[in-house]
Structure formats: C-alpha cells, structure tokens
C-alpha cells in the first residue's frame, strides 16, 4: 500500500484518473473490509480529483443510507427512486446530471452542488451501494468520468 497518494498537478482529467487508478488498486489491495475501502476511496477521489463531494450511499432495507464520504455534511437517508442517488438505485443506471436544478426531484444536500454523477455498484445482480460525486461547477461529468469511476469501483 502506498504511504501517501501522489497527486500530480496540471494534468488533464483523463491523465489524473490514469495516475490514480494503480494507486487506488494498491490502496485497496487485498483488504476485505468494505467500509475501510469505501473510506479510502472517498478520500483518494476527493483529493486526487479535487472533487467537491465524494461519498457512498449503501442500500439498507428499503433506503439508501449515507456511508463514508469526504466533503460537507450530507443527507443521511434517501428513498428508492428519490433524487439522483435513488434514481441510480432504482434503474441500475449511471446518472450524469449536468445541472442539478434541472433534475426533477434532485435532493440538495449542499446549495453549492451544481452537477453530479451517481454510479450504482452491483453484487449478485442487485445494487448494493452507489457512488455519488458532486461538483460545485456546472457540467463537470461525462463518459470519461463514468468509465474511470466504474473501473475504480471494480477494485471493491
């Protein structure tokens, strides 16, 4: 496991992901504890990519419950189908939201959040958790984020 994340400056988004990928793989390594891995992943993405908010919501009974995150405090529970996270859970599809004000039912945990990506993570054919990344700028996320974040989530 690396002692500390190496975060190069002045890279493109894709270069940043490429530099982070092997570091995150090493960080998770053979560690089996999900919460420990989610906690490190939230930190690695927050500081490695300089995102505004990075965190996980875990499926518990019939709700999403806040898990490890980095950034301002957030809502603790989200119903299925509600907000961007609830929609990703319900549909099983990644949600890329360029402008949260235009997403019907968006749940505003922070007034500073402007755009968002939510990626569901499956186990045994069911969504077990979602990764939620928020930006304080409009239109931050695209297919590049989706592709690399999905790669990273495979390490879990």
Of 78, 96, 119, 153, the residue at the interface with ligand SME (CB under 6 A) is 78
Which residues from 91-120 bind ligand SME, rule CB under 6 A?
106-107, 109, 113, 116
Q: Is 85 in the site for ligand SME (CB under 6 A)?
A: yes
Residue 115: C-alpha distances to residues 13, 40, 95, 110 (Å): 16, 23, 11, 11
Tokens linked to 60: 């518990």
90 neighbors 81 (Cβ within 8 angstroms): yes
The minimum distance between CB 22 and ligand SME, in angstroms, equals 28
Q: Is 56 in the site for ligand SME (CB under 6 A)?
A: no
Q: Please state, in angstroms and rounded to a whole number, the distance separating the CA atoms of residues 7 and 142.
A: 21
Q: Is 21 in the site for ligand SME (CB under 6 A)?
A: no
The minimum distance between CB 107 and ligand SME, in angstroms, equals 4
Q: Which of 44, 110, 60 is nearest to 83 (CA)?
A: 110
**Candidates 6-14, 41-49, 81-89, 139-147; binding stretch for ligand SME (CB under 6 A):** 81-89
Q: Is 75 in the site for ligand SME (CB under 6 A)?
A: yes
Which of 34, 75 has the CB closer to ligand SME? Answer: 75
Sheet holding 126-135, edge to edge: 77-79, 63-70, 53-60, 126-135, 115-123, 95-97
Which of 58, 74 has the CB closer to ligand SME? Answer: 74
Residues 6+ apart with CB under 8 A from 64: 57, 58, 77, 78, 79, 80, 85, 86, 89, 130
Q: Is 42 in the site for ligand SME (CB under 6 A)?
A: no
The residues of the shown chain that bind ligand SME, judged by CB under 6 A, are: 53, 74-75, 78, 83-86, 106-107, 109, 113, 116, 132, 134
């Amino acid at each position: 496991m690396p002692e500390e994340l190496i975060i190069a400056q002045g890279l493109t988004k894709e270069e940043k992901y490429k530099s982070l990928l092997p570091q995150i793989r090493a960080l998770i390594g053979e560690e089996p504890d999900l919460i420990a891995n989610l906690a490190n992943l939230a930190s690695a993405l927050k500081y490695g990519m300089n995102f505004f908010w990075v965190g996980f919501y875990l499926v518990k009974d019939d709700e999403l419950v806040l898990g490890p995150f980095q950034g301002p405090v957030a809502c603790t529970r989200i119903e299925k189908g509600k907000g961007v996270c609830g929609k990703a859970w319900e549909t099983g599809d990644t949600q890329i939201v360029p402008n949260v004000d235009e997403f019907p039912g968006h749940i505003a945990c922070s007034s500073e959040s402007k755009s968002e990506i939510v990626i569901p993570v499956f186990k045994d054919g069911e969504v077990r958790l979602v990764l939620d990344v928020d930006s304080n700028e409009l239109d931050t996320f695209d297919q590049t984020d989706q592709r690399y974040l999905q790669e990273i989530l495979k390490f879990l």
